[in-house]
Each structure stands twice: as C-alpha cells, then as structure tokens.
Amino acid sequence: MDNRNPKRRSGRAVAIGLILLCLAAFSLTVWNYTRTHPFANEAAIISASQVEAHFTNRSNLQIGQRAVVSLSANETKGGTLIEISETGRALIQMDSDTSAPAGTVVHVNIDGTVGPQRPK
C-alpha cells in the first residue's frame, strides 16, 4: 500500500503557498504604510495652535499635508503642515487650539491618504 497520496501533497503545497502569500502581503502593507504615513521622531507644542515636529525623511513631506497630533491616549487633533525645513523640521498649524501648555511632548504622523490642501 502506497502511503503517498497526491491529494495530500498538493493540499500542503496550497497551504504553504497561501501562508507565503499572506506574509508577503502583510510585509508590503507595512512597508507602504510607513512610506506614506511618516512618523515624527520628536514633536512638541510651541503654542496653543502650533506644533513643531522633526522627521528623518523630509522627501515625503509637502506643505498642505494633513497631520494627526496625539496629545494623549484619549486626545487626538488634526493639523496642516505650513512650513518644512531642509533638515526635516515641520511646523504644523492645528485645526483648533489645544489646552496643553507649550513644551508638551506629542506624537505626530502624516496622513498619507489625503493629498496636500491649498492654503486658505
């Protein structure tokens, strides 16, 4: 009696192929997200309506892009990039004033799903 069933071998190949496909898709999704949604290395509030953030990769930043500023675990606000320096420093104009004092450390990432907006 032959123990090698061809159906069983092809089933394993399909399962391994699907696992490899899922791993590749996950890796490419993470790579694309980090490319289109850059995170600031450091960021702080400089006034009630502005935040200064420092990014390592300046090439993806454009004036008018939307930024997501996380003040705490429960408070997130939006803003717009209004100034970008060659060193990767970005100035963000908040949509609404924050109650946090100047110097408060915040987390900033750029929303790559929305294109740059024209200044109003």
Can you give 75-90 as a three-state secondary structure string? CEEEEEEEEECCCCEE
Provide the pLDDT confidence category of residue 8 given band limits of 50, 70 and 90.
low
Average pLDDT over residues 20-36: 91
Residue 36: which H helix or E strand, with range? helix 6-36
Residue 33 pLDDT: 82
Average pLDDT over residues 58-78: 86
Q: Please report which residue ranges of 37-62 form alpha helices under DSSP H.
A: none
